[in-house]
Amino acid sequence: MKFLQLPPQVQWSIAAIFGLLVLATVVVRVLAAVRPQANWTELRQRINSWWLMAVVFTTAMILSRRISLAFFAFVSFMALKEFFSLIPTRRADRRVLFWAYLAIPAQYYLVYIEWYGTFIIFIPVYMFLLLPFRMVLVGETDGYLRAAGTLHWGLMVTVFSVSHAAFLLILQLKDRPDEVVGPGLVLMLVVLTQLNDVCQFLWGKSLGRRKILPAVSPGKTWAGFVGGVATTTLIARFAGPLLTPLDATQSLIAGLIIGIAGFIGDVNISALKRDLQVKDSGSLLPGHGGILDRIDSLTYTAPLFFHYVYWLFDWQTFGAGAVGL
Amino acid sequence: MNHVLRFLFFALLIRPILLVICGLNVRHRERLKCDGPALVVANHNSHLDALALICLFPLSRLSKLRPVGAKDYFFRNRWLAWFSTRILGVLPLDRDRKSGRRDLLAPISDALRDNQIVFLFPEGTRGDPEELSGFKTGIAYLAKRHEEVPVLPIFFHGLGKALPRGEALLVPFFLDVFVGQPLHWSGNKADFMEQLTRQMRGLAAEGNFPAWD
């Protein structure tokens, strides 16, 4: 049983996530019984979708490393597909889009073989050079810049950014290579990013008055932002030392990064949706919207948290040696 | 129909492609009734249209689902005819008007009397991708002949992007499906066609589709 190979703190955290979901389900049931006149459908749908996401995510994490990586690759695929379905695309670029999709297996294969040097430049350099070349071969120049720009932007947001969460999973400390640190780091990133969303929402609902970015996201308030970042930082201060090699101060800073970056990632996708004049990016997750709506914060927190952690410690050197080239 | 092969074909190949690699985004799913008889009419952009309609219904209903296809296309050789009959469950529609005074719509009528759910594309042919063209009136004759059978309009968007006419490479896109209100024969052909067209245009207007040009 792979579950037992995870560090006990990670096991306890997974148990805590489900504890929290049971609590949320019970609270909403009780509230709905006390005040049946209010509409609880959306909150209920939202929590049901959380159950689904928690079960899928933890199952993927527990089963094996391959399955965890495949899970992140699938999330990238769904997000990129949602993005390509939302934006205006050119008929002529059908085959270019197909090449863009192929970046997903390539990028996650690089994670799988632990080839950091290529993982970090594959999309920003190679895909950046390849897609316009493929477009030139098609030969359609009307709307060329818009197409080249939007396609690469989508790849960066949905594949490059998200794949950093997957790379966290395979990190190993140089001086303690036998210690399993990856799952703890991923759990800290993903759970804090999602908790940060929930906290910003709850603080905003209860105290929020002054709008923070009315032109982009009218629902967001200063109270939601500050309360959310503070709560996330506080939770990180205690979760970090338990789950990861980070000490208390380092965890505090990590919490601050996740809190602030999560907000920016959220409004980044809000601005995209406002530009495209849609309310939700899709309908995959009832109560939440689409997959982009759910991973918006993660597209900012994953690379920033990853590079902070990567800078803090000495990791096993990845590269040609690790692949045996 | 070969029920076992048909079930495997849809369960293992078509549903994974359409529900996972593409993904159906269904609006007003509650209007879909899984019990026949029913006449489902949809716009036609891609070979995947009929398959996507079948995927809207649960696998347990598979044996009741019958797409209508042009006889000159789906039965043009032995192998295709076998596949169309046994696997797709196509009801052949003879588009050749010179073929005498036979009742061209008889296979469809038989299926409806047998409580089946029949899929029909009244645009006649796959048009330009993602463009709605005019409806042929055969649907009105069917509605008149089977007054008790509901006619359910469904509007598709995205299949023409994922697999347009003349292309063999499938590019994943989310597919939008809009289910309309069931219609019944109104006593007048022009009036019925007008209602159907208005519903389709209304469903098309519900979506906020990105430009594709």
What DSSP line would sit under B12-46, residue for residue? IIIHIIIIIII-EEEESGGG---SS-EEEEE---S
Tokens read off for B143: 């509605």
- For residue B156, the distance in angstroms to the closest alpha carbon of chain A comes to 14
Comparing CB atoms, the residue among B129, B158, B169 nearest residue A95 is B169
Mutation site, A86, A94, A99, A284, interface B, largest B CB count within 10 A: A94
On whether the CB atoms of residues A98 and A307 are closer than 8 A, the answer is no
Give me the percent of chain A exceeding a pLDDT of 90.
75
CA-to-CA distance for B156 and B131, rounded, in angstroms?
11
CA distances from A13 to A19, A167, A183 (A): 9, 20, 11
Comparing CB atoms, the residue among B173, B211, B213 nearest residue A85 is B173
Residue A3 DSSP label = G
- Phi, psi for B181 (deg, rounded to 5): -85, 140
Question: Mean pLDDT score of chain A, rounded to an integer?
Answer: 92
CA-to-CA distance for A226 and A75, rounded, in angstroms?
29
Which residue of B lies nearest to A77 if distances are taken between CA atoms?
B21
pLDDT for A1 beyond 60: no
Tokens read off for B198: 């208005």
CA-to-CA distance for B137 and B174, rounded, in angstroms?
31
Give the pLDDT score at A285: 84
Cα(first)–Cα(last) distance of chain A, in Å? 33
Residue type, A307: H
Helix axes of A182-207 and A298-312: crossing angle, nearest 10 degrees: 130
**Inter-chain residue contact A84 with B129, CB threshold 8 Å:** no
CB contacts of A84 in chain B (<8 Å) are: 172-173
DSSP state letters, B78-127: HHHHHHIIIII-PEEE---TTSTT--TTHHHHHHHHTT-EEEE-TT-S--
Stated as kind and residue range, the H or E segment containing A263 is: helix A248-276
Tokens read off for B29: 């799913």
Residues recorded for chain A: 325
- For residue B199, the distance in angstroms to the closest alpha carbon of chain A comes to 23
Which residue of A lies nearest to B171 if distances are taken between CA atoms?
A98
Q: Any CB–CB contact under 8 A between B20 and chain A? A: no
Beta-carbon pairs below 8 A across chains A and B? 46
- For residue A153, the distance in angstroms to the closest alpha carbon of chain B comes to 17
Centroid of chain to Cα A249: 24
The string of pLDDT tens digits covering residues A91-134 is 999 999 999 999 999 999 999 999 999 999 999 999 999 999 99
Mutation site, B19, B30, B157, B171, interface A, largest A CB count within 10 A: B171
Q: Any CB–CB contact under 8 A between B92 and chain A? A: no
CB contacts of A82 in chain B (<8 Å) are: 174
Give the pLDDT score at A263: 97
**Inter-chain residue contact A81 with B129, CB threshold 8 Å:** no
- For residue A42, the distance in angstroms to the closest alpha carbon of chain B comes to 17
CB contacts of A78 in chain B (<8 Å) are: 23
Burial zone of B100 (CB within 10 Å; 0-12 exposed, 13-18 middle, 19+ buried)? exposed
CB contacts of B130 in chain A (<8 Å) are: none
Tokens read off for A122: 């594959």
Which positions ≥6 away from A296 have C-beta within 8 Å?
Answer: A265, A266, A268, A269, A270
**Inter-chain residue contact A91 with B213, CB threshold 8 Å:** yes
CA-to-CA distance for B3 and B122, rounded, in angstroms?
27
CB contacts of B167 in chain A (<8 Å) are: 94
CATH numbers and ranges of domains, chain B? 3-91+103-206 (3.40.1130.10)
Mutation site, A71, A85, A140, interface B, largest B CB count within 10 A: A85
Q: Is A68 helix (H, G, I), strand (E, B) or coil?
A: helix
The residues pairing with B177 across neighbouring beta strands, listed in sequence order, are: B26, B156
Question: What residue has token string 């209860």?
Answer: A206
Centroid of chain to Cα A114: 20
On whether the CB atoms of residues B132 and B43 are closer than 8 A, the answer is yes
Average pLDDT value for residue range A74-87: 96
Smallest CA-to-CA distance from B122 within B155, B162, B158 is with B155
The residues pairing with A299 across neighbouring beta strands, listed in sequence order, are: none
The string of pLDDT tens digits covering residues A244-290 is 999 999 999 999 999 999 999 999 999 999 999 888 888 888 888 88
**Inter-chain residue contact A97 with B171, CB threshold 8 Å:** yes
CB contacts of B213 in chain A (<8 Å) are: 90-91
Comparing CB atoms, the residue among B22, B169, B174 nearest residue A282 is B174
On whether the CB atoms of residues A223 and A165 are closer than 8 A, the answer is no
- Phi, psi for B182 (deg, rounded to 5): -65, 140
Residue A5 DSSP label = G
Smallest CA-to-CA distance from B142 within B118, B170, B119, B109 is with B109
Which residue of B lies nearest to A278 if distances are taken between CA atoms?
B208
Q: Any CB–CB contact under 8 A between B44 and chain A? A: no
Burial zone of B97 (CB within 10 Å; 0-12 exposed, 13-18 middle, 19+ buried)? exposed
Tokens read off for B41: 């009419």
Q: State the pLDDT confidence band at A84, using cuts at 50, 70 and 90.
A: very high
CA-to-CA distance for A65 and A63, rounded, in angstroms?
7
On whether the CB atoms of residues B139 and B129 are closer than 8 A, the answer is no
pLDDT in tens, chain B (213 residues): 888 999 999 999 999 999 999 999 888 888 888 787 999 999 887 888 899 999 999 999 999 999 998 888 889 999 999 999 999 999 988 876 665 656 788 889 999 999 999 999 888 666 666 666 667 778 888 889 998 999 999 999 888 899 988 888 999 999 999 999 999 988 888 888 989 999 999 998 888 787 777
**Inter-chain residue contact A282 with B129, CB threshold 8 Å:** no
Average pLDDT value for residue range A177-198: 92
pTM: 0.91
- ω into B37 cis (within 30 of 0): yes
CA distances from A12 to A156, A234, B90 (A): 34, 19, 55
For chain B, give percent helix, strand, coil, nearest 5.
45, 15, 40
Give the pLDDT score at A324: 46
